[in-house]
Amino acid sequence: MPEEVKKLKPGVVTGSDYLTLVKNCKARGFALPAINVTSTNTLNAALEGAMNSKSDIIIQLSNGGAQFFAGKGIKDVEKARVLGAISAARHAHTVAKAYGICVVLHTDHADKKLIPWVESLIDASEAEYEVTGKPLFSSHMLDLSEEPIDENLAECERVLKRLAKIDMSLEIELGVTGGEEDGVGSDIDQMDNSKLYTQPSEVLQAYEKLSPIGHFSVAAAFGNVHGVYKPGNVQLRPEILKASQQHIQSVYDTTERPLDFVFHGGSGSSPEEIAEAVSYGVFKMNVDTDTQFAFSKPVGAYVEAHPKAFKYQIDPEDGTPFKKHYDPRAWLRDCEKSMAERVQQACAELGATGKSIAGA
């Protein structure tokens, strides 16, 4: 039986509370869905789905999602990426407590060219920490998997030294998750298949270099891909995660499953594959493609049900006003409910339903 669970205050968690959340997931054998958001609507939908599941959740933004959050009307793309991520974080900090769950704030996939984006957000968290004693975000990700491993880990080491000072965590990537997401990565048909599988020796290198500095998690590649592709392109091999855990445990005589693993490219995975990965120390699984579809799908049905409302403000035949139908709140609410339901499905598949450790 796992030890008694420490309760945390609902809302955004950082520092030691974030580590408590991770430890609880691994001890109780489940993982949290990490939902990519692009707007207040998608962020609220993710929170609603987690609340309905009585599950904690990870909210994350890609660079493109952050830019969209600020508004595509801002012509300075780099500035918009920073402002959008900060705005999303502020929104989450403002409303998360009301949903009664614990929320992790994270940024997704930042390759070499996006390191300045991450460092600007660290600047914001350092300023926040100075005032409140807590960072703005819980963690950030550096995806330098396409760089030589020594360069990858050296840069991760440099950034983690900054993050550790303000109680933040770093997610790194070893091996290449197939597919493309917001300009990071490439189509799996163009990928050297051997790069889709991380080696335990690479994970050991990361452990030796980063664990003395601060907390980090590993997005290890075991054949997973972003998006939904036809079957047969790659084969999932979750046993790679098990081998990496055992390798570090044998070399350094650590506790069982010393690494905190992340499952990227989770959309389309079978419940059996998810459960096996979780059993090997995965505490976080990214879900983006499926929730995008869930959010968008109701739009078509709504327009089909109210076709005139999207052509006329007033029915040209009988003068009926259509305001209640074309009001964005009407159809966007359908989108939110659909996405929230997909988040609930993710919580169930990951075993997180009913396991929030947010206290009353």
Active site residues: 108
| Residue 128 tokens, joined | 């926040």
What are the pLDDT digits (tens) for 52-63? 999 999 999 999
CA dist., res. 171 & res. 262, Å (int): 8
Task: State the average pLDDT over residues 8-32.
Answer: 97
Residue 120 clears pLDDT 60, i.e. is over it:
yes
CA dist., res. 40 & res. 94, Å (int): 12
pLDDT at 247: 95
CA dist., res. 285 & res. 290, Å (int): 13
Task: State the average pLDDT over residues 317-322.
Answer: 96
Q: Which of 110, 121, 115, 35 is nearest to 83 (CA)?
A: 121
Q: Which of 23, 1, 4 is nearest to 359 (CA)?
A: 4
* Least-confidence region, from 159-163, 186-190, 212-216, 283-287: 186-190
Residue 186 clears pLDDT 50, i.e. is over it:
no
* Least-confidence region, from 92-101, 199-208, 265-274, 310-319: 265-274
* Least-confidence region, from 18-32, 88-102, 141-155, 223-237: 223-237
What are the pLDDT digits (tens) for 328-353? 999 999 999 999 999 999 999 999 99
* Three-state secondary structure call for residue 60: strand
Task: State the average pLDDT over residues 318-323.
Answer: 96
| Confidence class for position 84, pLDDT limits 50, 70, 90 | very high
pLDDT at 237: 82
Residue 299 clears pLDDT 60, i.e. is over it:
yes
Residue 2 clears pLDDT 60, i.e. is over it:
no
Please tell me the pTM assigned to this model. 0.91
225 backbone dihedrals φ, ψ, rounded to 5°: -135, 150
Task: State the average pLDDT over residues 193-204.
Answer: 78
pLDDT at 187: 45
Task: State the average pLDDT over residues 13-39.
Answer: 97
| Residue 18 tokens, joined | 């974030």
Residue 232 clears pLDDT 90, i.e. is over it:
no
Residue 195 clears pLDDT 90, i.e. is over it:
no
The topology under which CATH files domain 11-349 is TIM Barrel (3.20.20)
| Element spanning 211, H or E | none
pLDDT at 226: 52
Which residues partner with 285 through β-bridges? Answer: 33, 263
